[in-house]
A and B are shown apart, each in its own frame.
Chain A
């Protein structure tokens, strides 16, 4: 028996809350994305992310899936060697554009169908996911944070640090298989 409880225990939502995926299934789910946008939050250089090499993980996901990176300005430098498609953008501003059914993406090439969130302060990220859940309900969102995010469409469950580190490896393996 298990209950899906948000990392911030007061973040009680419902009835539409995130489906919990295993890291492997996260990888498989991401492979379904036709046009993936990865929103990188301003805390991506915090200790826990650094310890798992999250910047590298994001770059590998983006490379594999041809994803676009929307990077919070304060941490853009961390991706200076990444040669794929990347934009420096305030996270609220990109989420606001995602609510617009007519927005065709940064490059005008079409709507993003899958949005991956990582690297934000938990409550901030939760609120961005909430905006999309309420005002862009057909858009699929996924969180690969260590903690359960109820406002996403898909999320990992709350994991110990070691389980998360191993899970991210499993996610990459599933993705790159």
Chain B
């Protein structure tokens, strides 16, 4: 957060000043770090605006309004259809920009709050001076933090400075959404890009803090295999289920079990990212699955105690858990759920109230206390609830008999599954379609809410699928966290030169059209083709929930290194930071670019040279939107599945627009055409096949060597032919000269592209930044 002083002209006494510009940076503790400070440490809302506007000029926002109205103030609601302005003067593009900013701020705020809560807890438990240590092979411990803030965190308390910065910026961004503040859609987008970047910084803070303090894996390729699936939780033991993203309470459950000699006598399981983190902490922790399993597992009544922390906790979980006799402990100020606060009440009293049922759900905001209370309560409640575990299959499925085939459930299914037909068939004795629906279902229960006959449709689907649920058992590698510097040194050159065709990162939630199988098949295809595949969050869990023809999950089939032909489970959502961090590290370790406070130069490097693409096939949450937008500011394109259209905004390029694809040649300052590489920054695709072919196209970069471009083109062409049955029509845009052409298809392609008027182009030293011409000299 630098302060700038400008004096155009001043004459006072004998002193004359003209054209003075002074920048006073943030005062930081002396550090022997030799790297010079870049131009934008702790950037504010305006510091990277010029970079954003360059991106937005090439990739203008494309809006799809989800509503015709603005409802933000008492002038409204205002109809903004087809060019109308609201009473405050805003038009639909501005309104859409505001929505986008709000969503990204929500995401960034959620991750920042998570990081802050976690950091406070870890400092309390392990001390402010606890070192940031990601292992001996990870010297660049915090590439995002170094890049954005200009500091090199050495101890947990150093990260508090970063969190304070994040909270300040997020407040400013939220403020800009108030009526009468920002009004231009491009500036809303610039601010959204800022929010997204902050989100990725928050992710890194949260994950490096917990990895350092809790002893999580530090970049090990061969982390232990963990069981995942609704069938992996043992029902003949007390069960504690943790839901959310903050591992603190769950980690204290495991600590207490260890200390009290009860480890192995109580099942500890989780849903969503807390589950991924527990699996990093303890091999014995079970992962029920991604968010699509949350309500389903709760309804099965297997959990004796449910601990909810923060983020991605369904709004009906507490009510649903209590309905099946599970006891609930809410642990975060972000989700108190209207429950009484027992944080300062004696353990025995809380346990007694929970066991007796006097209180079915309480708030305890002390993770250590949560650990003790949850274990004690689970042990005592377990024998009292034996008859509440699992479905009474026949009783529940028989509720389908009330179905009138009104199709209200079908109409309300977010992904258009014909649930109504399946339920009606079950009414007539045929449950086969229910079993098919089970595989695709998101587990959202909108069908339940819509049923005029009060059929618990989701429970009917699950009860009919009981055998499938019991057999739902897969294996996933525990999240490994950071990518090692040694790995980056090995793959940096082949990635930048294009010889490894690209890094494909799977991220996001489980809002899939057609089940999780698509995300697994895509990961399989890219790993087979020697891309580096990484995954985090629910996408990483969903990749595990698929077995190939040999009965192996993809994590068993492929190694877990950051290398060609491998599939890496980075960890939970916050571990998405390591995917971005890896490409930032390539710029540092391979290209020797300075990271410190040097965001724009590194983002320009990534956009022009590193073939990384993210696929968020089932993105659902505001956090996924925020992470995607952050990745975009770093120069990483993102592909969303069809439900991603409801984020209301894409960043689309136009391949035929010549001027958009001009870059500076840093060697001599000339503007050079480089083709649409990458063509889009954020786009929505409709099918898995389209996602794969698009990803193979979006990994192309202006800097690819002829060999690298040849490999990338080979994959693009091959996938295109495999899925679409034709050569790409836009091939001429990506061939710079004949050396780029795959040798086996050279003549055929040359003929094709010459018909399109193709002419050779040059390969520059590409940059969008005029200050980088002649190496910035």
Contact = CB atoms under 8 A, between A and B. Distances in A.
Contacts of B412: 8-10
A53 to B, nearest CB: 20
Interface stretch (A109-117, A133-141, A162-170): A133-141
A76 B726 contact: yes
A155 interface: no
Contact of A134 (B63, B411, B693): B63
A80 B723 CA distance: 13
Given A16-B81, A76-B726, A131-B63, A123 B686 contact: no
Interface string A17-29: 0000000000000
B693 A93 contact: no
Contact of A137 (B63, B64, B83, B646): B83
B686 A43 contact: yes
Contacts of B680: 93
B724 interface: yes
A130 B66 contact: yes
Interface residues of B, number: 46
A73 B721 CA distance: 11
A23 B765 CA distance: 57
B68 interface: yes
Contacts of B686: 41-43, 72, 74, 91, 120-121, 124
Chain B interface SS verdict (over half): mixed
A175 B384 CA distance: 70
B650 interface: yes
B66 A127 contact: yes
B725 interface: yes
Contact of A42 (B62, B82, B93, B687): B687
A161 B589 CA distance: 60
B627 interface: no
Interface string B658-685: 0000000000000000000000100111
A121 B642 contact: yes
Given A42-B686, A96-B652, A123 B81 contact: no
Contacts of A32: none
A128 interface: yes
A74 B687 contact: yes
A99 B92 CA distance: 14
B622 interface: no
A43 B686 CA distance: 8
Given A8-B412, A93-B652, A135-B92, A127 B64 contact: yes
A14 B81 CA distance: 8
A36 to B, nearest CB: 21
A15 B79 CA distance: 8
Contacts of B683: 90, 92-93
B687 to A, nearest CB: 3
Given A13-B67, A122-B416, 10 more contacts: A9-B450, A14-B79, A16-B82, A72-B686, A74-B690, A92-B650, A92-B685, A121-B415, A134-B65, A137-B81
Q: Lowest 4 CB-CB distances: which A-B pairs, in order?
A: A42-B686, A74-B687, A137-B82, A127-B64
Interface of B: 62-68, 79-83, 92-93, 408, 411-412, 414-416, 450, 513, 642-643, 645-646, 648, 650, 652, 654, 680, 683-690, 693-694, 723-726, 729
Interface of A: 7-10, 13-16, 41-43, 72-77, 80, 87-88, 90-93, 95-97, 99, 120-124, 127-128, 130-131, 133-135, 137
25 contacts: A9-B411, A15-B68, A15-B79, A16-B81, A41-B686, A73-B693, A73-B724, A74-B723, A77-B725, A80-B725, A92-B650, A93-B680, A93-B683, A96-B652, A99-B62, A121-B415, A121-B686, A123-B416, A123-B642, A124-B642, A127-B646, A127-B648, A131-B64, A134-B63, A134-B65
